[in-house]
């Protein structure tokens, strides 16, 4: 787990001239790899790397040079992530091709696989990754990003080269030397306010984009990247034919999860686990305990009643038999640290859960260097409550289209906040129209109120259309899962998981997001995912002998934040000040925002998530556009508690 920066220039002279700028830009992501920093030029390419040493700590330094015996320095690689099947892959390459390795790490397994297997090697990697390989003989860079988008990879193209990086802020630092000055992307802003994140492959700066999840690419000096999708998460449900068939499915799920957690525990440093009150993190912790009897788990919560899973997590930790660490977060701490969190994010993410995650990551880093977590379970196994919506809206599907349009018009006339308004509105819409992915913050009518740059042509369907088109023959729930894998999962869940933990030089691993786990999950039939009583039915049955009984059927909470209350009370003056100080008048109608804050404060309408999205954006704008806000970012330093 590290931070990389690779620059591919038109000429070797361009690369030589840019090397110092690359080294300076690496400082923007020092937190991703505080153990080692190095910069290396090879021909037209400059590679920079910040290392967080996890596997083969004393060796496997990067940038790493490797080659076959006849050309031992042919390739240079920089790699962020972990390859969990690296031992098996290395053994296979030795047996089939006589491959030779100079380290005991996972980095060499990638470059050796590429040498012997070609670009298809990326599909053999079981892990989380973003990497660049320079082939000095063919004069080409080959790179790739993991199937689910766990690890980020941004890029920018200019007249003096193409740069790739784990952090967008490094590219912003490097942009002038490439002949660029990236400006605010107003279309991306509108998508952000709709979805609470900036959807891939865009970013909130024009000209800076992301290599998409499940994609590899090649680039020659002086040219543009040529991308190819190597992984598409295809669902192929297989109906179960009775109890015996169902039990075989449950056993297969349990077995693949045991295998995934075992491989995710591979490390030469201590591995801990996040633990909330839900089934996903509890299962991961219980399985991890089998490999590390001294496992430490971490949770966070709030003092307000109903907004904490601390007690349930503590009960789970006791049942599993692990040491447990709790971090309670206050409103004052949220306000104090949010500007720093936004700086680490690169682009705004309006998920309030990322702030408590920030604090528990800080706490965990005092004890361990790696943590496991339960991200991805809901998308793969059907865990979100909204996935049950097709059941509740089934009666609307029988209503003729003309009458449903009338229902929509009736809904529009019902005052905001009246019970039943949203149900009627959503029942009048098709799945493609109503389901944006797991989050929706501003509707178009609400956006028109606050966004001066509102473009009626832009729609969430611009983001979801491809996923709906590719999943046209599937059932509604599976289509929702598929949409979320390309939107919510990689836009919100994995962004905050990577950015907030890496801000604290902590590696986070997600055993549910494993190709072998997906292979099994993709075959689960609808009736084994969603019932009228529960979600993730098959997963719950598979884990019944692994997790404590008190969490087996507990509804999902995650890290709930008392945002609605805080924005009325403790955070009201602070958030109002953020809005008033922000120099975003050309983009946002601040009077409309202040009016929303008053409506929220007097309790007439719950605007908490919309207010939060605007506040986070305004802080981002103050940092990355105005330069008015300068969070104090310390040098990473981690005295580990024994």
The continuous run of DSSP H or E covering 508 comes out as strand 507-509
Q: Of 469, 494, 413, which Cα lies nearest the Cα of 153?
A: 494
Q: Of 269, 490, 494, 491, which Cα lies nearest the Cα of 371?
A: 269
List the catalytic residue out of 2, 45, 110, 261: 2
Strands 154-158 and 161-165: antiparallel
DSSP 226: E
Contact by Cβ (8 Å): 551, 263: no
Contact by Cβ (8 Å): 343, 460: no
Torsion-angle region of 589 (φ positive above 0: left; ψ -120 to 50: alpha; else: beta): beta
Q: How is residue 116 written in tokens?
A: 């012997």
Contact by Cβ (8 Å): 69, 55: no
Contact by Cβ (8 Å): 441, 492: no
Q: How many CB atoms lie within 10 A of CB 346?
A: 28
**461-470 and 186-195 are packed helices; what angle lies between their axes, rounded to 10 degrees?**
70
Separation CA 69–CA 73 (nearest Å): 9
Contact by Cβ (8 Å): 610, 446: yes
Q: Of 39, 1, 46, which Cα lies nearest the Cα of 23?
A: 39
- Catalytic status, residue 28: no
Q: How is residue 239 written in tokens?
A: 């109906």
CB contact set of 154 (below 8 Å; sequence gap of 6+): 164, 165, 166, 167, 168, 171, 203, 208, 209, 210, 211, 346
CA dihedral 171, 173, 178, 182 (to 10 degrees): 70
CB contact set of 372 (below 8 Å; sequence gap of 6+): 261, 264, 265, 271, 272, 273, 274, 284, 285, 288, 508, 509, 510, 511
Annotated catalytic residues are: 2
């Amino acid at each position: 787990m590290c931070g990389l920066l690779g620059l591919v220039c038109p000429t070797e002279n361009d690369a030589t001239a840019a090397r110092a700028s690359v080294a300076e830009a690496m400082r923007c992501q020092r937190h991703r790899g505080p153990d080692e920093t190095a910069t290396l030029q090879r021909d037209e390419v400059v590679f920079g790397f910040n290392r967080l040493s996890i596997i083969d700590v004393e060796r496997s330094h990067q940038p790493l040079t490797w080659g076959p015996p006849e050309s031992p320095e042919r390739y240079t690689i920089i790699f962020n992530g972990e390859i969990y099947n690296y031992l098996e892959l290395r053994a296979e390459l030795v047996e089939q091709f006589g491959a030779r390795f100079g380290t005991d790490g996972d980095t060499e397994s990638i470059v050796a696989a590429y040498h012997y297997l070609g670009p298809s090697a990326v599909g053999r990697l079981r892990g989380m990754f973003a990497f660049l390989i320079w082939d000095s003989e063919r004069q080409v860079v080959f790179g790739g990003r993991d199937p689910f988008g766990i690890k980020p990879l941004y890029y920018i193209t200019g007249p003096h080269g193409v740069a790739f990086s784990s952090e967008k802020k490094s590219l912003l630092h490097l942009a002038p030397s490439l002949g660029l000055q990236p400006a605010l992307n107003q279309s991306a802003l509108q998508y952000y306010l709709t979805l609470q994140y900036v959807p891939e492959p865009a970013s909130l700066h024009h000209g800076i984009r992301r290599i998409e999840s499940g994609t590899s690419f090649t680039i020659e000096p002086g040219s543009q990247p040529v991308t190819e999708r190597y992984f598409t998460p295809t669902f192929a449900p297989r109906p179960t034919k009775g109890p015996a068939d169902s039990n075989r499915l449950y056993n297969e799920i349990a077995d693949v999860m045991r295998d995934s957690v075992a491989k995710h525990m591979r490390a030469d440093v201590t591995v801990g686990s996040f633990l909330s009150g839900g089934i996903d993190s509890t299962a991961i912790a219980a399985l991890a305990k089998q490999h590390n009897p001294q496992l430490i788990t971490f949770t966070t919560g709030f003092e307000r009643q109903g907004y904490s899973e601390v007690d349930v997590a503590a009960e789970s930790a006791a049942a599993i038999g692990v040491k447990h660490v709790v971090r309670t977060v206050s409103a004052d701490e949220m306000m104090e640290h949010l500007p720093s969190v936004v700086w680490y994010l690169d682009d705004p993410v309006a998920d309030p859960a990322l702030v408590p995650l920030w604090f528990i990551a800080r706490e965990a880093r005092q004890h361990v260097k790696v943590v496991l977590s339960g991200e991805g379970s809901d998308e793969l196994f059907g865990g979100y409550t909204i996935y049950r919506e097709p059941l509740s809206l089934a009666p609307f599907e029988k209503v003729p289209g003309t009458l449903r349009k009338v229902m929509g018009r009736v809904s529009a006339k019902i005052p905001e906040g009246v019970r039943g308004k949203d149900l009627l509105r959503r029942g009048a819409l098709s799945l493609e129209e109503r389901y944006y992915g797991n989050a929706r913050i501003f509707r178009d009518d609400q956006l028109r109120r606050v966004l001066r740059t509102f473009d009626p042509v832009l729609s969430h369907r611009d983001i979801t259309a491809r996923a709906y088109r590719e999943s046209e023959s599937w059932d509604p729930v599976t289509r929702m899962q598929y949409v979320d894998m390309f939107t919510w999962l990689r836009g919100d869940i994995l962004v905050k998981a990577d950015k907030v933990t890496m801000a604290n030089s902590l590696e986070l691993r997600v055993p549910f997001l494993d190709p072998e786990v997906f292979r099994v999950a993709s075959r689960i039939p609808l009736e084994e995912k969603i019932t009228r009583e529960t979600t993730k039915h098959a997963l719950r049955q598979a884990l019944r002998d692994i997790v404590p009984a008190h969490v087996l059927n507990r509804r999902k909470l995650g890290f709930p934040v008392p945002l609605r209350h805080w924005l009325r009370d403790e955070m009201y003056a602070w958030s109002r000040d953020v809005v008033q100080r922000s120099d975003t008048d050309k983009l946002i109608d601040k009077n409309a925002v202040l009016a929303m804050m008053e409506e929220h404060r007097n309790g007439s309408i719950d605007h908490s998530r919309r207010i939060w999205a605007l506040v986070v954006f305004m802080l981002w704008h103050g940092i990355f556009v105005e330069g008015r806000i300068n969070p104090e970012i310390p040098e990473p330093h981690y005295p580990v508690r024994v």
